[in-house]
Amino acid sequence: MGGDHGPNVVIPALMTVAVRRPDIRFIIYGREEMVRPELAKFPKLAEVCEFHHCEIAVRMDDKPSQALRHGRWKSSMWKAVEAVKSGTAQACISAGNTGALMAMSKFCLRTMATIDRPAIAAIWPTMRGESVVLDVGATIGADAHQLIDFAILGTGMARSVFGIDRPKVGLLNVGVEEIKGQEEVKEAGRMLREANMASMNYHGFVEGNDIGKGTVDVVVTEGFAGNIALKTAEGTVRQISGYLRAAMSRTLMARIGYVFAKGAFDRLREKLDPGRSNGGVFLGLNGIVVKSHGGADSDGFAAAIELGYDMVRNNLIDRIEADLDLFHARNPHAQANRKADAAVDAKE
């Protein structure tokens, strides 16, 4: 029900994924008067879909607290998250209100035992392929322990989605030198180096330009910097696209040249298409929740569904829990220090 287009985008996306993934099944929550007409356009979906009418749909401008207070138990968003908690579904995919979805997911699914705060992870196209970048907006500010959590969460996602046994992980910083950056970042780097985890290849610090280069498989930062980086990259893509369109239509020779170079431009457009990497994953919860971009088309929403599908098939939650257990088993002081820091913060 969420996003800019609601069922008009979601239902065709389900049909696309059903063709690609014959073993997938869908549970749809929404308003019957809006969903049923769209479902009628795809009769074959009836074989793989189960529909539940919900009276309430969370609006895109609802405050998270309002949505949680008034939408709990009855809204389509809550029902979808609750299905993951009960085990009826293995993943929840939504293009709805991000704040409301995060609030409901945290309240319903809870965070993993040793995780303080969840993170939103994005798949970022790079010169070498794709990378995981987190956090891109869930947590503003993070201490060293939370950055380590994000590194472990991102590692689990990279292993599940990219099939890499030991992903290369970097902490986003203002320089690659060990003496640079905030104390929280430097402490997190030291602890990750000392942990020497079997599932993670800790690279060290990376800078902003390393994200697009694909220097590492997982880029770790806190949500303020991560969200700015994400929005800057999206804006830069639109800016470059505008420049290219203007340049290719300026003169007759430019238009002729575009005809000959069309294949190359199509490949560039495909590489830069945000729909190919659509889907922000809420990591650190006891369940898989994927947030599709609100403006995504049906192909983009289908990409978000398939992202959730891949993480389920590759046991994302089990991988993350195993990595967290291993880290804390090898670094028992880390959890003790976390509790001590939390006690000091509470006292202050």
Q: How crowded is residue 53: how many other Cβ atoms within 10 Å of its Cβ?
A: 14
What local confidence, expressed as pLDDT, does residue 344 receive?
47
The pLDDT tens digits of the residues spanning 94-110 come to 999 999 999 999 999 99
Calpha distance 173→181 (Å, rounded) = 6
Calpha distance 2→294 (Å, rounded) = 7
Contact 206, 169 (CB under 8 A): no
What local confidence, expressed as pLDDT, does residue 13 receive?
95
User: Which strands make up the sheet holding 280-283, listed edge to edge?
Assistant: 91-94, 288-291, 280-283, 119-126, 129-134, 218-220, 168-172, 201-206
pTM: 0.86
Q: Give the phi and the psi of residue 102 in degrees, each rounded to 5.
A: -65, -45
Calpha distance 246→254 (Å, rounded) = 10
SS (H, E, C) 160-223: HHHCCCCCEEEEECCCCCCCCCCHHHHHHHHHHHHHCCCCCEEEEEECHHHHHHCCCCEEECCH
Low-confidence ranges of the chain (pLDDT < 50): 344
What local confidence, expressed as pLDDT, does residue 125 receive?
86
Give the CA-trace dihedral at 299, 76, 139, 320, to 10 degrees: -70
Alpha helix (H) ranges present in the chain? Answer: 7-20, 32-40, 64-71, 76-86, 98-109, 144-162, 183-195, 208-213, 223-248, 252-272, 298-313, 316-330, 332-347
Identify the residue whose tokens are 């303080």. Answer: 116
Residues forming beta bridges with residue 268, ordered by sequence position: none
Q: How crowded is residue 211: how many other Cβ atoms within 10 Å of its Cβ?
A: 22
Q: What single DSSP character describes residue 47?
A: G
Buried b (16+ CB within 10 A) or exposed e, 181-194: beebbbbbbebbee
